[in-house]
Amino acid sequence: MGYIQDNVLRILNSLPQGIEVVAAIKGRQVDEVLEAIGAGIKIIGANYVQEAERLYSRIGAGVSWHFIGKLQKNKVKKAVRIFDMIETLDSVELAQEIDKVCFKENKKMPVLIEINSAREEQKSGIMPESLEQFIKELAGFQNIAIMGLMTMGPELKNPEDMRQYFRETKELFEKIRFLNLPYAQVKYLSMGMSASYEIAIHEGANIIRIGTRIFGERVKQPHSNF
Ligand SMILES: *Cc1c(COP(=O)(O)O)cnc(C)c1O
């Protein structure tokens, strides 16, 4: 059995019911991604539109595509054509652009709102205390379907230290669910990566995003064009 196939099966077999796995594919080759799909991966997570385009032309729409990177407004048009969900909505301006493009393309884009759960200045995402206001500002966008929240959490050596940020994001998730906003389905909570997904699931994640534990350590290619 191949290394990637083996990893995927081991992860899928270990998960409780109702948890969806996004395979984070940055820097991976098409053959690696196809091996993961062959073993049961149904959602591909891409950080870059250009990289996704290249893979999409080989892999197609038989799997779901989630955007998990930082989306630039000038890439929205291409992103809307490829992705089934944008997990990283982090500004009203971006929402406006997605809404505009989706209107033209006659689509409704499912999105997750990215939360900056550790309130890190250099990182993107909505601050926890600003979420309620932010989500209210999204009320008018007919071509966006708010589906839940996503967080990265801080990069910490000990994944156990991330638990509090996952827990706080889950609390926010429950809080906005309780608002019962007619335009927001609060259904998905995407958090946890290779080192932290067990903890994230324990804290309420139902989407986890895994790269290294599926594909192995990434070869560092500082100026790679993928
Ligand atoms: C790379 C990446 C992951 C997966 O990280 P691993 O530690 O390799 O599992 C998850 N989410 C996002 C947004 C990523 O960029």
Distance of CA 67 to the CA centre of its chain: 6
Helices and strands in the chain, H and E counts: 9, 8
Q: Is the CB of 209 under 6 A from ligand 1?
A: yes
Confirm if 172 and 206 have CB atoms less than 8 A apart. Answer: no
User: Using CA atoms, how far apart are residues 4 and 46, in angstroms rounded to an integer?
Assistant: 18
pLDDT tens figures, 35-72: 999 999 999 999 999 999 999 999 999 999 999 999 99
Q: Is the CB of 123 under 6 A from ligand 1?
A: no
Confirm if 119 and 125 have CB atoms less than 8 A apart. Answer: no
Q: Binning pLDDT at 50, 70 and 90, where does residue 226 land? A: very low
Q: Which atom of ligand 1 is nearest to the CA of 26?
A: 1
Q: Which atom of ligand 1 is nearest to the CA of 47?
A: 15
Confirm if 115 and 125 have CB atoms less than 8 A apart. Answer: yes
pLDDT tens figures, 93-122: 999 999 999 999 999 999 999 999 999 999
In 96-218, beta strands by DSSP E: 109-115, 144-151, 184-190, 207-210
Q: Is the CB of 21 under 6 A from ligand 1?
A: no
Residue owning the nearest CA to atom 13 of ligand 1: 68
User: Using CA atoms, how far apart are residues 5 and 85, in angstroms rounded to an integer?
Assistant: 25
User: Using CA atoms, how far apart are residues 146 and 141, in angstroms rounded to an integer?
Assistant: 10
